[in-house]
Chains A and B, each alone.
Chain A
Amino acid sequence: MIRKLHIKDHGIETRLFKRRAIVAITIIILMILGIVARLVYLQIYSHQHFSTLSQKNRLKIVPLPPTRGLIYDRNGLLLAKNIPSFSLELIPEQVKDIDDTLQRLSKVVAISNSDRQHFKRLVKQKRRFKSIPLRYRLTEEEVARFSVNRHHYKGVSIQARLIRYYPFGSSGVHTIGYVGRIDARELQRIDTANYSATTHIGKLGIERSYEDDLHGQVGYQQEEVNAQNRTLRIIDSTPPISGKDLYLNIDMKLQLYANKVLGDYRGSIVAIDPNNGELLTLVSKPNYDPNQFVTGIGVKSYAALRDSPDKPLFNRTILGQYPPGSTVKPFIGLAGLDAGLANSDLFCPGWFMLEGDERRYRDWKKHGHGNTNLDKAIVQSCDVYFYELAQKLRIDRMHKFMSLFGFGKKTGIDIIGELAGLFPSREWKRQKRGQAWFPGETLITGIGQGFTLTTPLQLASATATLAMNGLHFRPSIVQSTQGRDDEKPVRLPVTRFKSVLLKDPQNWQKVKQSMLRVLHSPRGTARSSGQSAAYKIAGKTGTAQVFGIAQDAEYKEEEIDLRLRDHSLFIAFAPFDKPTIAIAVIAENGGSGSHVAAPIARKIFDAYLLGKEL
């Protein structure tokens, strides 16, 4: 940059600046005099007035926390409640020697090292006249022991608070969620006035998604305090308004049973009422105890949960994205029927080849199924039939049809954080991967492999839609809210999405009949799970590959690392004629769908429809 040099008259400029500086200092002095005048008015003229106000200023406004709404299951079983908890608290200003007091207290009440450290940290952060918790959840015995000796401990007191408690612990954690201390991020989000007395906020699941309903309205109390800040009497109070109680669609007994029958498998079970989208059961395993989060989980315990390879913190029902495997076949078959492309037979030699491509797309059955029609292809889960059907349908038509059932789209469930899964299309691949679509990818999409990903919730919801001949409801966890005990619960509206319409409605029955034969015919893949059932079940097994197998390589289960084994999947609904429950079961690395997932679903059907085991 070139700066031009001007000849300047320094004298004139200096004088000009001096004049301005004098104006500035004059104005500044005048403004300071203005401040002084204001202070004289406040401190001399109105001193008496403000002095009286400050004397009388012993009135304090203390916010009162509202009681958090309770959560019940569909049968009125209590899932989240508030229990009184006693905590031991100290006011540092009133304690002469904190270390000595802690030492003496530890003889009466158990105080761990981490309690001590946590407390010391709080002492530094908080004001000296504020009560600081040292121990939470005292036992009754500890409360009694302290109360007898309390005169020895000046400035130490026991405070009763309501804390959240989940009686069913880990069994419902992914659905119900839990509350925890409000953190800095949440502070920015919430209405601080309404939360001025609240210490905990919903962090996950229903507790988080329905926070506004559950929390309630803060109350206020005007108290008179003395010069030591101790409350003398209560002048006036506006009681808080409790949060609303929630009734869930979840059947907790069924959920407990589902948790049990899934056994030690990692995985998920979603059961839904197809008539209205009510979610009966949402199981994600492994799980963890939400109660440890309420009073604050230790760093070590949390790290153990977070870093566990089994991912217990991960809610598989809405976040677990799995390849659906053969469970997509009824839907693809329906797409084929609707397009008039699934009426002819085909010979299955055990593999399929695209023209001009050397690669063999293998069937799970090495020597093939022989002559196959759509019914046989669903009942015996023939891959080759669906390779060819997919090729005829082409990817974009499949994508469009599957979207109607909610594949690749969020289901709209009423808890936050759900993932959308993926059903690929030409468009998607170009945008997200910047690549062209290959014909081979169409084939494997036809058997639910390749790019396709679904959450267990999506699978259950799609199955429910199929069971209802296309009636499509939004899956929902919360059934109704109740403001006060004497009020009637208010049912939340059921949302119906656009129905799936077929050109020929007869085709619904065709596919459903095939699904029936999966369980109730001698060659059905899940025949053992359909045996001697008191009602008819329609379903489809699925076995999803976790990793690719080389061309023509033999798949030997025993030789493969446990975590690379196939996922075992099963979707079904029952009773066949008038479905009241649809289900999706996924057992991670469980192997074949017919051996693991299908028997689990059968047990849950028996429990729900016949009342067995509950």
Chain B
Amino acid sequence: MILDSYTAANRRRYSLASSLHLDVPLIIALLLTAVLGLVILYSAGNQNEDIIIRQLTRLAVAFGVMMLVAQIPPRQLLFWTPWLFTIGIILLIAVLIFGEGKGVQRWLDFGLLRFQPSEIIKITLPMILAWYLADAALPPKPLKVFVCIILIIVPTLLIAKQPDLGTSLVIASSGIFVMLLSGIRWRYIFSAMLAAIAAAPLLWYFMHDYQRQRVLTFLNPEQDLLGSGWHIVQSKIAIGSGGLYGKGWLNGTQSHLEFLPERSTDFIFAVYGEEFGLMGILLLLTLYLFIIARSLYISTQAQDTFGRLVGGSIAITFFFNIFVNIGMVTGLLPVVGLPLPLISYGGTSMVTLMIAFGILMSVHTHRKLLSQ
């Protein structure tokens, strides 16, 4: 494979990197994407240096945390998994009781530290599932599958209740990906999908008004031009007018004339599409695809079930985030407030993402130490 030869070519640096427990191809691809993100953000944020400095700080913290996590051996992670997951669930319940904010409760405030417990679950849900599935032969028995479904549903509902539909969607998916990778029979998977489609009207019943509005707007954006329909219409114009080569960096009229809302955060992809065109987007998608492929490759090389399942889930969830965001910005999916990984302006989810990649690197690099 290409990925293999690339590794071989870097054998020398790799040995230094492996003592630091880092995966060089992955870290290079992540850094390139982050740099590209800063370039776009500079334009999307109207050349405001403060925004760039703040984002750089976040990136530095996130990469630092990733390197720290990479030092922890997978065994250690395996040992901690049930505890971390339990703490996450307790904090989720706490946030529903003591959470900050009127109507929307996502944050817990510990004075200095203010964070969303759902971020802990993002990482620990795949881990707990892998931990639970790893001690028996795969594919899992029906009873195990049932327990796993409970483990997925509880945090998903707790987060949906905050209400944070976007995050609960990501978390449910990351759990489902573990299940798919664990080798469940295809006919179970297909029947579950059919059941999900049948249950869709039920979901409508549980949605908040603003969430229903988003779905309606998605179906007919022109109807709600003053609200979120405006987002979709304007972002399609931005991307479409970019054409093959784009209008050039800092020259996007849609974004700079303030037609495009939330252009530094959820809709940053539209700014990119307008200024760099299809060619630019292909470059970004290639980078993303490389990160995903490399992550999946790392997972297949893992020596135990835990590492395989967690790694695979991280890779697919990363893609899921990208797909939902780009789908939303290009008008293929309803507006769900999910950032574009490594590109969008914003802090918490960036750190979580890099922790996930830190785990991947730990899985990969500690393998060699173990086999000696």
CB neighbours of B316 from chain A (8 A): 24, 28
Q: B14 within 8 Å of A by Cβ?
A: no
Closest to A46 in B: B240
Report Cα–Cα, A354/B326, bound state, in Å.
Answer: 82
Choose, from A13-21, A138-146, A315-323, A405-413, the stretch at the interface.
Answer: A13-21
Q: B92 within 8 Å of A by Cβ?
A: no
Q: B117 within 8 Å of A by Cβ?
A: no
Q: A490 within 8 Å of B by Cβ?
A: no
Q: A148 within 8 Å of B by Cβ?
A: no
If A42-B236, A47-B240 touch, whether A9 touches B137 (CB-CB below 8 Å) is yes
Closest to B186 in A: A23
Report Cα–Cα, A61/B201, bound state, in Å.
Answer: 36
Point out the residue from B253, B258, B327 that lies within 8 Å of A227, measured CB to CB: B253
Contact A51 B243 (CB under 8 A): yes
CB neighbours of A38 from chain B (8 A): 330, 332
Contact A32 B102 (CB under 8 A): no
Q: Digit string of B228-266 for contact with A (CB within 8 Å is 1, else 0)?
A: 000000101111111110000000011001110000000
Closest to B278 in A: A43
Choose, from A185-193, A265-273, A564-572, the stretch at the interface.
Answer: A185-193
Contact A6 B180 (CB under 8 A): no
Point out the residue from B183, B237, B288 that lies within 8 Å of A50, measured CB to CB: B237
Q: Which of B268-320 contact A (CB under 8 A)?
A: 273, 277-278, 281-282, 285, 288-289, 292-293, 296, 299-300, 305, 308-309, 312, 315-316, 319
The B interface is mostly helix, strand or loop, or mixed, namely helix
Q: B48 within 8 Å of A by Cβ?
A: yes
Q: Which of A47-100 contact B (CB under 8 A)?
A: 47, 49-51, 53-54, 57-58, 60-61
Q: Which of A3, A40, A57, A127 has the most CB atoms of chain B within a 10 A radius of its CB?
A: A57
Minimum Cβ distance to chain B for residue A194 (Å): 11
Minimum Cβ distance to chain A for residue B309 (Å): 8
Contact A31 B273 (CB under 8 A): no
Minimum Cβ distance to chain A for residue B26 (Å): 15
Contact A28 B319 (CB under 8 A): yes
If A24-B316, A32-B285 touch, whether A57 touches B278 (CB-CB below 8 Å) is no
Q: B142 within 8 Å of A by Cβ?
A: no
Q: B203 within 8 Å of A by Cβ?
A: no
Q: Which of A1-37 contact B (CB under 8 A)?
A: 1, 3-6, 8-9, 13-14, 16-18, 20-21, 24-25, 28-29, 31-32, 35-36
Closest to B47 in A: A128
Point out the residue from A9, A24, A53 that lies within 8 Å of B241, measured CB to CB: A53
CB neighbours of B227 from chain A (8 A): 193
Contact B181 A13 (CB under 8 A): no
Report Cα–Cα, A50/B236, bound state, in Å.
Answer: 8
Report Cα–Cα, A29/B289, bound state, in Å.
Answer: 8
Closest to A124 in B: B50
Report Cα–Cα, A42/B47, bound state, in Å.
Answer: 27
CB neighbours of B327 from chain A (8 A): 35
Contact B273 A188 (CB under 8 A): no
Contact B240 A227 (CB under 8 A): no
Report Cα–Cα, A129/B277, bound state, in Å.
Answer: 25
Point out the residue from A5, A28, A51, A220 that lies within 8 Å of B240, measured CB to CB: A51
Q: B111 within 8 Å of A by Cβ?
A: no
What is the count of residue pairs linking A and B with beta-carbon distances less than 8 angstroms?
A: 149
Point out the residue from B226, B257, B308 that lies within 8 Å of A229, measured CB to CB: B257
Contact A17 B308 (CB under 8 A): yes
Contact B242 A43 (CB under 8 A): yes
Closest to A51 in B: B241
If A50-B240, A54-B241, A57-B254 touch, whether A17 touches B46 (CB-CB below 8 Å) is no
Point out the residue from B243, B257, B259, B285 that lies within 8 Å of A44, measured CB to CB: B243
Contact A47 B243 (CB under 8 A): yes
Contact A40 B278 (CB under 8 A): yes
Q: Which of A88-139 contact B (CB under 8 A)?
A: 124, 127-129
Q: B9 within 8 Å of A by Cβ?
A: no
Point out the residue from A8, A9, A43, A60 that lies within 8 Å of B239, measured CB to CB: A43
CB neighbours of A46 from chain B (8 A): 240
Report Cα–Cα, A16/B48, bound state, in Å.
Answer: 50
Q: Which of B85-117 contact A (CB under 8 A)?
A: 101-103
Q: A609 within 8 Å of B by Cβ?
A: no
Minimum Cβ distance to chain A for residue B193 (Å): 13
Contact B135 A6 (CB under 8 A): yes
Minimum Cβ distance to chain A for residue B258 (Å): 7
Report Cα–Cα, A18/B311, bound state, in Å.
Answer: 12
Q: A39 within 8 Å of B by Cβ?
A: yes
If A21-B181, A24-B180, A61-B226 touch, whether A35 touches B326 (CB-CB below 8 Å) is yes
Closest to A45 in B: B240
Contact B296 A128 (CB under 8 A): no
Q: A502 within 8 Å of B by Cβ?
A: no
Contact B259 A57 (CB under 8 A): yes
Report Cα–Cα, A188/B105, bound state, in Å.
Answer: 13
Q: B323 within 8 Å of A by Cβ?
A: yes
Contact A35 B296 (CB under 8 A): no
Report Cα–Cα, A17/B305, bound state, in Å.
Answer: 9
Minimum Cβ distance to chain A for residue B69 (Å): 22
Report Cα–Cα, A38/B239, bound state, in Å.
Answer: 11
Contact A13 B239 (CB under 8 A): no
Point out the residue from B82, B136, B183, B293 that lies within 8 Å of A17, measured CB to CB: B183
Point out the residue from A44, A50, A61 that lies within 8 Å of B244, measured CB to CB: A44
Q: Which of B82, B101, B183, B282 has the most CB atoms of chain A within a 10 A radius of its CB?
A: B183
Q: A225 within 8 Å of B by Cβ?
A: yes
CB neighbours of B293 from chain A (8 A): 25
CB neighbours of A229 from chain B (8 A): 257-258
Q: B337 within 8 Å of A by Cβ?
A: no
Report Cα–Cα, A61/B227, bound state, in Å.
Answer: 12
Closest to A25 in B: B296
Q: Which of A13, A220, A229 has the most CB atoms of chain B within a 10 A radius of its CB?
A: A13
Point out the residue from B82, B137, B177, B273 that lies within 8 Å of A39, measured CB to CB: B273
Contact B242 A16 (CB under 8 A): no
Report Cα–Cα, A28/B290, bound state, in Å.
Answer: 12
Contact A188 B103 (CB under 8 A): yes
Closest to B136 in A: A6
Closest to B330 in A: A38
Point out the residue from A16, A29, A220 that lies within 8 Å of B138, measured CB to CB: A16
Report Cα–Cα, A127/B299, bound state, in Å.
Answer: 44
Report Cα–Cα, A54/B247, bound state, in Å.
Answer: 12
Minimum Cβ distance to chain A for residue B368 (Å): 17
CB neighbours of A1 from chain B (8 A): 82
CB neighbours of B64 from chain A (8 A): none
Contact B181 A17 (CB under 8 A): yes
CB neighbours of A43 from chain B (8 A): 239-240, 242-244, 273, 277-278, 281
CB neighbours of A18 from chain B (8 A): 300
Q: B25 within 8 Å of A by Cβ?
A: no
Contact A128 B135 (CB under 8 A): no
If A29-B289, A185-B102 touch, whether A20 touches B180 (CB-CB below 8 Å) is yes
Minimum Cβ distance to chain A for residue B104 (Å): 8
CB neighbours of A36 from chain B (8 A): 281-282, 285
Contact B48 A128 (CB under 8 A): yes
CB neighbours of B240 from chain A (8 A): 42-43, 46-47, 49-51, 53-54
Contact A17 B300 (CB under 8 A): yes
List 13 A–B pairs whose Cβ atoms lie within 8 Å, in order of A's numbering.
A21-B312, A24-B180, A24-B315, A31-B319, A35-B330, A39-B330, A40-B278, A42-B239, A43-B240, A43-B281, A57-B253, A193-B226, A229-B258
8 closest pairs, A vs B, by CB? A50-B240, A54-B241, A42-B240, A50-B241, A47-B243, A16-B183, A43-B278, A51-B241
For the A-B complex with A128-B48, A229-B258 known, give 17 more contacts whose Cβ atoms are closer than 8 Å. A8-B136, A8-B137, A18-B300, A20-B180, A24-B296, A24-B312, A24-B315, A36-B281, A36-B285, A39-B239, A39-B273, A39-B278, A39-B330, A61-B226, A185-B102, A188-B103, A193-B227
